Amino acid sequence: MGYKVVVVGATGNVGKEMLNILAEREFPVDEIAALASRKSLGTEVSFGDKTLKTMDLDTFDFTGWDIALFAIGSDATKTYAPKAASQGCVVIDNSSLYRYDPDIPLIVPEVNADDVVRYKNKNIIANPNCSTAQMVVALKPLHDRARIKRVVVSTYQSVSGTGKEAIDELWNQTKGIYVPGQEVSPSVYPKQIAFNVIPHIDVFLDSGDTKEEWKMVVETKKILDPKIKVTATCVRVPVFVGHSEAVNIEFEDYLDWEEATDILREAPGVLVVDKREAGGYITPIECVGEYATYISRIRQDETVENGLNIWVVSDNLRKGAALNAVQIAEVLGQRCLKKG
């Protein structure tokens, strides 16, 4: 006996990936529904070798359904997630709406799977920010060994993190630079993204940080350890898919880079690619479509007493969003719902 699963926002980039990954990982599905807004009603989406027609989110009854994977914005989630949860369906939400609610678990299965039992508080589980998810997967095994004091992270985030419109803007701006008369002015982003980098993701806060940077700080503390100090600079780069991060870590205890490499090679969800030669590292184009969080450039930081530098790359539509949500569903099923 399997699960009755709903994918909410099935026509978006993340929703489509959720359907793909549910099929790829052979999640025990008895019945599946693809939901979208009324304007997308009837749009066809793929689930393995099946084709599903989207149903209307506004009128859908979640009663009798086991799990709902939400991939819509916070505003719509605020309306529909409580409805699903109140009708007995466990919501796994990809938006930022519930991440900071102390009663709602924020889960990365390789890091804090035990927290999944707290779904019973509100029948809702939160999926973290894409840049946070891949970073904490890398940090967790190192933290277990040497206790992390401080993290300084600079991100290089792909346009797919913003959505389809941003992907189109990068493509069209790039074409427009080479084709006279087809120039495209910035619309999704405040400045040109083609052949450029933009040190601005989400809105600015009074502190001078952007909300994306604030998210990485707060979410790392909630998922991994509230004592860790985190500072982030988040940058949008002209890459279609795949987020990269340069992470500087300061530990309480000394950790040699060679031991750190051995630890990371054994860590769940991690693949180390680090040969200290030209091409002996991972780049975002190589991680597209993959499940793993890749780590390269593992080296000592001699400027602090117990420091390491690492380079972390992952497919943000997968581990940063859809894959993590499906992994949460797997843990929820194995440990709590126990069907399939």
Helices 130-146 + 257-266 axis angle, to 10? 120
- Helix, strand, or coil (residue 201): coil
| Cβ contacts of 80 within 8 Å, gap of 6 or more | 8, 57, 70, 72
Contact 218/209 with Cβ under 8 angstroms?
no
Contacts for 236 with CB less than 8 Å, ≥ 6 apart: 157, 159, 161, 162, 189, 193, 197, 198, 199, 200, 201
Measured CA to CA, the distance from residue 295 to residue 264 in angstroms comes to: 8
Where are the extended beta strands (E) located within 24-87? 29-36, 44-47, 50-53, 55-56, 67-70
- Which of the following is catalytic: 130, 143, 234, 287? 130
Q: 89, 143, 234, 243: which is the annotated catalytic residue?
A: 243
Map tokens 């099935």 to a residue: 10
Map tokens 């927290």 to a residue. Answer: 115
Known catalytic residue at 143:
no
Six-digit token string for 107: 């889960």
Whether 243 is catalytic: yes
Contact 267, 294 (CB under 8 A): no
Handedness of CA 278, 281, 282, 283 (dihedral sign): negative
The two tokens of residue 65 are: 């359904």
Cβ atoms within 10 Å of 90's Cβ, excluding its own: 26
| Beta-carbon count within 10 A of 180 CB | 7
SS3 at position 298: strand
Q: Which residues are catalytic?
A: 130, 243
